[in-house]
Structure 1
Amino acid sequence: HKIAFSHYAFAVGYALVSYSFIYLSNYMWIDGVMILPLMVLGLNLLKESKVCYLYSISLAYSLISSWYIGFMTCVFSVFYFMYLFFSDAKSFKEKMPFFLRYVIYSLIGGFLGSICWLTAFLHFSGTKATQSFPKFDFGSLSMLLTGFLENNYMTTGNITQYFGYASMFTGMVSLVFFLRSFFNPGIKVRERISYGVLFFFYCLCILSTTLNALMHGGREPTWFPARFSYILGFLVCYFASKECEHRETSSNISSLVALLVPAVVLPIVVFTKNSNRFETDSINAPYLYYSISWPSFIVYYLTAILSSLYPFLKRYPFGKKYEKWILSSVSLALVPLSCFSAYRGGKQVVSTDVKQNQFVSQEEYLEDDALTPVFEMM
């Protein structure tokens, strides 16, 4: 309970994931973003044979709210189950009851949601699903890395692509803790490898045209690329929370990695193109390279320093004596930092849309003379 407050930092990060702001015009997708953490909670409880129906209900709700995003959530449930299954050190025989529960309750959830997805599938099987895969290719590494940073949406041209853009910025606080989690000795090596593989696989789905098409049901989407990227945003926040849970065992190596990663990532995103599409596009050409957000840069390093305080001070009598105060102070600082960082990501998206006439302000909308008769009738 002493670290529970810190989890609000990651909850806020996911709640304000840039994906939701960018794809807000497709509001029927947002329910899937909302229900994903509940489905993961259901799977965690299913593993312990507790409240098993939560998984089925959340899966069914995801399919009913939007069969399209629900399909992506169902695919993720399979991979997340594999992560839970293989990260558990128990024998295969001991894990079999969990496997059987997963199959049974997945079928129940799928059956409950079939009122929506079944008719869609019957139509889908005769149209989009019958078309060929796109030519095999890889997107820009800079594009993938930029998706985790603040200024990843500087032009509405990003969402008019079929492939080559993704947005999963959840704030710098969650990013720091996510990176640290891979080097925390308190988290079992088996688990770190398992969630590292899961995360890497979804990154490949962003980069590979073939995997990207598979994640969209067999073909690249028309506009609004990487519609499953909210899952990567969730994984960052979720595994960041694991670092927070095991903060007492965090190592100096974790701190060093968090401090050095920007020295590797920033040169890549600043000096390499994040898209091949804008080279001959005079409007979007200025956005071929990433522009650093200095407030985010400051928040990142401030978080990296704050998260390193406890591992550093616990080696001294002062740190041990005031352990609870140090943990509480760091927790109190992390939440507003996360709110500020994630808010800036959302604000950047809205500002870009307004600037390029993707959206207009409410005041401007209400002042539109063409709509005056409509408002007078209401």
Structure 2
Amino acid sequence: MRLSIRVPKPTKKLLLTFSFLFPFVLMMGYFMYRGMAPFGSSTILTVDLGQQYVDFFSYYRSTILSHPTSFFYSFAKDLGGDTLGIFAYYLMSPLNVIILLFPGKLLSSGILILTLLKYGLSGLSFAWMLMKLKLQTNWRVIAFATSYALMGWMIANQLNVIWLDVLILLPLVIYGLIKLLDTKKPWTFICWFTILLIDNYYMAWMVGIFTFLFTIFHLFETNQRFKTNLRSFFRYVGSGIISVLIAACFLFPVGYSLAQSKGTYTETAIKWTTEYFPFNMVAKLIPGSFNFDQMPDGQPNIFIGMLLTIAFLLFMLDSRWSIKSRLVAGLISIFFICSFFLQPLDLLWHAGQFPVWYPYRFSFLFSFWMLYLAAKELTGNFKPSTHSLIIITTFLIIIYVFLFHYLDKLTYITNVEVSFSAAISAVALIWMIVPSNGSPLLYELLFMMLVIGESATNAFTSLNNISYVSQSEFGNYTTQLTKTASKLKEIDSGFYRVGQTFLRTKDDPMQGDYNSASHFGSTLEPSIPSFMGSIGQPDGDGFVTYTNGTQVTDSLLSMKYFMTSKSVVNLSGKTKTVTSLPEVSNKTDLNRQSEVSSDALTKTYKNNSALSIAFGASKAIQSLTLKTKDPLMYQSELYKVLAGDKSASSLFNVQNFDNVTFVNLPSATQITGTIFKRKEILKPAEIKLKFTPKTNGSYYLTLGSALNSDTATFSLNGKELKQYPTYRNTIVVNVASKQKGKPITFTIKLTKQSVWLQNVSLYSLNQSYFNKLNQTLKSENLKVTSHSNTKITGTVNIKKKNHVLMTTIPYSKGWHVKVDGQEVKTTKVIKTFMAVPITKGHHNVVFYYRSPYLIAGLLVSSVTIIGITGIIIYKKRK
């Protein structure tokens, strides 16, 4: 006689509770094991989460708690920019309110708690959908929920916490879609899809494509008449349009903002090419198939566990389902797979732009699709046929033979991981073959152990391949940055920008809540990197870093204060820079500025040459076109034209080196433009450029982009020169100031076999000429009387005719200006900044910002909501 233990039936509440707790507790256990704050000395911060998102979360806190106008615009974003795009892409999750409870150095702990909640809520949401649709109603719900919450995409993109809400909302959207198609009730779908559009429009785009595919599958599955299906399809389309119209108050201004920034990088040329050998992606079915190298350029993260993957494949072979529904499901699956290696389809999912890092961001949809079909397959009457098992077993054998054979070419998995997966697959097949009625409890326990155990293994092994920022590195720096920036606000409450010689991330200004000129984000307007690169600052498509300013640019861009790290003297009398404030700039000309505050780690200097955010300037700036690639000549011409100086003189004069010494390199009479190769490959090679300043002015050295941290290291008078490592244009390095008669040696040490000395030139600033032009421009400074991120009020006295009110506010249609109460039309100058026509005399000026298309969006949303409300009331009365 066989002893069969009956499986107790759980309540819905219990299933939902465990579906939340299993992923939450598993991941909390891992974070505790890794000692991540608040459980230890490490943090969850890594890559973009540590270099970008954490600063945006700090910015979110300051916006909500201190200055709400930053929701629309901020001068902490590079030189100033629209921030609706930042909120739309990064910060609109309702769960972010948790961040308000974690100030300063505790922010890393808040992000960990936020991440854990998103793991738990993802499992809860998927479990709720499964039970509402009656796909699974027993203990297996917990296993499915855990697999969903810990899918490969979630683990690989844990650091992209801004995207994770989509896993919470996707099951709710799909439930609403099925309800719409089956019962003609659209409001659940409209509600959740509208929320997703506002929460993260980028993920919503991908989900929108998926709902189209899912609608086709579901309509074929229901096997209704063509006319009925057509009506249902149009009802789906109409509901999607209504969602967009309701969210128009947000989507319209955000869409415009993105069109000026991220949207400019959209691909226009379509190439039908493959991105890699397609069969390589089967490696992503293996637990632990992820490491750092997979972030910038890898295969799609589609792991859900082998048992559920097998169940997904069995759906296509199961005669319980109609041939029509299986055929459509197969075609949709093939479409997904082709999207993972065919460029045009990849671009479609990513809204026309190739991802910068984190490829195949839509792969979570394929994982959902596999889990959905697996849940349909593994119902109570599940019993795979012999021929289905033979096909699946053959397919699995092919996969593992391939993986073992090409293991040396797949650097993100090991022999142990493939062997473990093969063992799991064998046990999963045995589980499917053995009847469940012999021991139902053991049968269900084995299912739970296989699915949850493999999901946990994948999470732990994958995340172990990533390194993280320590709590002291983040916390100490954040505390000091906030302290120094806050002290400056006590000294000066006016409008100004702040430069710095140390930097943890390019979004330090958002972390410390001050105006500056550095930024890293997907919504950066292209005109800003273009301008910054022209004046010798490190720049890229998505970032700018103001670390290489001269006296001229510091003056022009209102850099009124500079924060620097303090050097300390050790017992031997040598100086060293405090490591908690990483230096990225050599700014010798700070010795011309006056110190205004100091503490144990920092000093702050005041730049008396800084211009106001707006000032009177020659009208000639409106027609100025600068084509020079030399950043110092660019600065000279720009500053001269603004000051109305038409002389042939230049602010910067080319200087010769007194002596050049070559070590293990051939001699050359010309330095710049020459390619130098080592004489002896294994010996060090360096070039020493020596000169002695003949004046007390500032001296600057230009370095082309070929001279970077990959090809050479630099030192100044024997001390390592700190320089931000990434730049694509010629940069400017300050090498001397007030050092007349003191020898200067700039050393270039090769790190590779050869180096191109691109654009290596020495210049001196004509100090008296600069002072003269500076005084001319300062005489017509705007005196700011009040300011916020969206409104600046002040007075200005224009002393000359044919002048404009020049600003260093990046041009945007959102900015409006009133001069003496009259609205005036702004113009764009040097392809970057806003200028305002103005007459001679004393004027009151008001700048105010209104997000373009905000009012239009509000109008559309209002009309839509009122119209829908009216229709609902009418139908109820009828």
Q: Please indicate the TM-score interval, normalised by the length of the shorter structure.
A: 0.7 to 0.9
The residue aligned with 2:387 is: 253
User: What does 1:1-378 align with in structure 2 at a 5 Å threshold?
Assistant: 4-49=138-183, 52-125=186-259, 127-128=263-264, 130-133=266-269, 135-138=271-274, 139-153=276-290, 155-161=291-297, 164-245=298-379, 247-272=381-406, 287=411, 291=415, 292-310=417-435, 323=437, 326-354=439-467, 359-360=468-469, 364-366=470-472, 370-371=476-477, 373=479
Unaligned 5+ residue runs, structure 1? 275-284, 311-318
Q: Displacement of 1:223 after TM fit?
A: 0.8
TM-aligned CA distance change 1:297 to 1:119, over 3 Å: farther
C-alpha contact 1:45 1:51 (8 A) present in aligned 2: yes
**Which secondary structure state, in structure 1, belongs to the residue aligned with residue 183 of structure 2?**
coil
1:103 corresponds to which letter in structure 2? V
Q: Percent identity?
A: 19
Distance 1:44 1:198 in 2: 17
C-alpha contact 2:316 2:329 (8 A) present in aligned 1: no
C-alpha contact 1:14 1:234 (8 A) present in aligned 2: yes
Q: Which has the larger radius of gyration?
A: 2
With normalisation by structure 1, the TM-score equals 0.82
TM-aligned CA distance change 1:231 to 1:367, over 3 Å: same
What are the superposed Cα offsets for residues 144-190 of structure 1, whole Å, 9 maximum, x if unpaired? Answer: 2122222321x3121112xx521021122211211222211112211
Distance 1:305 1:196 in 2: 25
Q: Displacement of 1:101 after TM fit?
A: 2.2
The residue aligned with 1:281 is: none
Distance 1:260 1:172 in 2: 15
Aligned-residue CA RMSD in angstroms?
A: 2.8
What are the superposed Cα offsets for residues 344-369 of structure 1, whole Å, 9 maximum, x if unpaired? Answer: 11112210113xxxx24xxx424778
TM-aligned CA distance change 1:221 to 1:368, over 3 Å: closer
What are the superposed Cα offsets for residues 30-76 of structure 1, whole Å, 9 maximum, x if unpaired? Answer: 01122112211111111211653221122112111111111111111
Pick 1 or 2: higher relative contact order, CA cutoff 8 A, min separation 6: 1
Unaligned 5+ residue runs, structure 2? 1-133, 484-878
C-alpha contact 1:9 1:338 (8 A) present in aligned 2: yes
Aligned residues: 345
C-alpha contact 1:18 1:169 (8 A) present in aligned 2: yes
2:457 corresponds to which letter in structure 1? R
Which shows bigger deviation, 224-233 or 247-256?
A: 247-256
C-alpha contact 1:60 1:109 (8 A) present in aligned 2: yes
TM-aligned CA distance change 1:44 to 1:246, over 3 Å: farther
Q: Displacement of 1:111 after TM fit?
A: 2.2
Distance 2:446 2:410 in 1: 36
Q: Displacement of 1:289 after TM fit?
A: 7.3
Distance 1:72 1:368 in 2: 34
Distance 1:132 1:370 in 2: 45
Q: Displacement of 1:99 after TM fit?
A: 1.8
Q: Displacement of 1:199 after TM fit?
A: 1.1
**Which secondary structure state, in structure 2, belongs to the residue aligned with residue 245 of structure 1?**
coil
TM-aligned CA distance change 1:133 to 1:268, over 3 Å: farther
C-alpha contact 2:308 2:451 (8 A) present in aligned 1: yes
Q: Which runs of 4+ in 1 moved over 6 A?
A: none
What are the superposed Cα offsets for residues 212-267 of structure 1, whole Å, 9 maximum, x if unpaired? Answer: 11210112111110010111111111111111126445322232233332211123
C-alpha contact 2:384 2:432 (8 A) present in aligned 1: no
